[in-house]
Amino acid sequence: MQFSFSSRYRITPTSFLDELFRVSRDPSIISFAGGLPDTDLIDLDGIRDATAAVLEEEGRAALQYTTTDGYLPLRECIARRYQERLGIPAVPEEIQIVNGSQQCLDIMGKIFISRGSHIGMEAPGYLGAIDAFSLYEPIIHTVPIIEGGPDPDRFEKLIHNHPLSFFYGIPNCQNPSGTTYSDERRRHLAEILTGSGCAFFEDDAFGELFFDGKPRLPMKHYLLDQTILSGSFSKIIAPGLRIGWIYAPVPVLERFNHAKQAADLHSNLLSQMILVRYLQSNSLDLHIKRITAVYKEKCRLICDHLDALGLTHTEPEGGMFLMATLPEGTSSMQLFKEGVKAGVAILPGIPFYPHGGGEDTIRINFSSPSTEEINLGMERLKKAFRAL
């Protein structure tokens, strides 16, 4: 049977991704290539108690269909946190629950991108965003990440020369580079965007994970009605519950809601209720402090190892990733292959550049491996370098 697939689906996946997938399942390989939060830091007791309370108190209602927008008490919790933590006047009516913030990327693509629409993003940029947007066949423009965020001159030219539907970026602890936009850069980008007709799609998966615990004002603060902001419980509570959200102006949210309904009716209700109960019974701030203290240590340890290897690298202020630059003439793809032979996986920078680049960079995840795994993995990486 020869199936008639849509034009967007005639691409076949690369063998590199298959290999990466195989490697990520091999327990003998220490992986810096993934993007998992530290399993040991998931508050199992807290979630177990919350789950029992929900099934006790809500009963069958927790297992029935619900509305597409999401469980109102959860949307209220999210709005309140924006108000209290960042001073942003969020209301539940502007918030929609999704299956982790990855779903925001797909639905934003669906409602903003026709074939040939122009969109912008960072280079390097989040691989999951490139994947999600590409299926709607846009023309993707990129702006390089430099010190303090996207290059403002290149950004300004892009906004003036092309009718972008949106610019997608991760201002806090970016995936993959670990860069955080400076406050000044945020203001500057907001000035450029004002009156331009280009929305800013702000992915804030990591904004709660600053090592110093201090929140940074999001682009949403500078461009309230022009910014679509996404967030997630995956990195601060538990990814397996698959709950994130979008916080967007009402005209966007109406379309988003329609697309979400067509996509899967609504997100898991039991998980939404568990999260509300968890947030009522536990201090999220204290829990996050525990997570960031561990991540700060692991990040420091990896940076020390990379320094010892003589590699330059970004210095993340938080999040889960950093990026290292290889010595001239070293191929990240070759290093990946040698690494796998030595029992360690790193992620070449290449897939983070939709138009090529990143041959001499690697992304390193510091949240998932334990201290012991970091030490052993970095030894193996040294061996891989020597083999090159």
Span of 58-66, 276-284, 286-294, 343-351 interacting with a second copy by CB under 8 A: 58-66
The minimum distance between CB 13 and a second copy, in angstroms, equals 6
From candidates 103, 180, 292, 361, binder to a second copy by CB under 8 A: 103
Q: Which two tokens stand for residue 301?
A: 């340890």
Selected binder of a second copy within 15, 27, 65, 355 (CB under 8 A): 65
Sequence-ordered alpha helix ranges (H) in the chain: 15-24, 44-57, 72-86, 102-112, 127-134, 152-161, 183-193, 219-222, 250-264, 269-281, 284-308, 332-342, 371-387
Nearer to a second copy, 3 or 286 (CB): 3
For a second copy, the closer of residues 135 and 309 by Cβ is 135
Q: Binding residue for a second copy (CB under 8 A) from 19, 131, 359, 379?
A: 131
Interface with a second copy: number of residues (CB under 8 A)? 82
Beta-ladder partners of 96: 246
Q: Does 44 bind a second copy (CB under 8 A)?
A: yes
- Retrieve residue 170's tokens: 């991760």
127 backbone dihedrals φ, ψ, rounded to 5° = -55, -40
Contacting residue, 20, 79, 105, 362, with a second copy by CB under 8 A? 105
7 binds a second copy (CB under 8 A): yes
Is position 365 an interface residue for a second copy (rule: CB under 8 A)?
A: no
Listing DSSP states for 87-116 in one string gives -----GGGEEEESSTHHHHHHHHHHH--TT
333 is an interface residue for a second copy by CB under 8 A: no
Measuring CA to CA, which residue among 126, 99, 76, 71 is closest to residue 259? 99
Pairing of strands 118-123, 164-169: parallel
CB of 265 to a second copy, least distance (A): 5
Q: Which of 73, 128, 148, 343 binds a second copy (CB under 8 A)?
A: 128
Residues 199 and 375: their CA atoms lie apart, in Å, by: 43
Least Å distance between CB 38 and a second copy?
10
Task: Give yes or no for residue 89 binding a second copy (CB under 8 A).
Answer: no
> Which 214-273 positions form the footprint of a second copy (CB under 8 A)?
225-226, 234, 238-242, 249, 251-252, 254-255, 258-259, 261-271
What part of residues 152-191 is at the interface with a second copy (CB under 8 A)? Answer: 163-166
Residues 6+ apart with CB under 8 A from 301: 366, 371, 374, 375
CA dihedral (317, 320, 326, 331) positive or negative: negative
For a second copy, which is the closer residue by CB, 261 or 312?
A: 261
Stretch that binds a second copy, among 126-134, 202-210, 291-299, 377-385 (CB under 8 A): 126-134
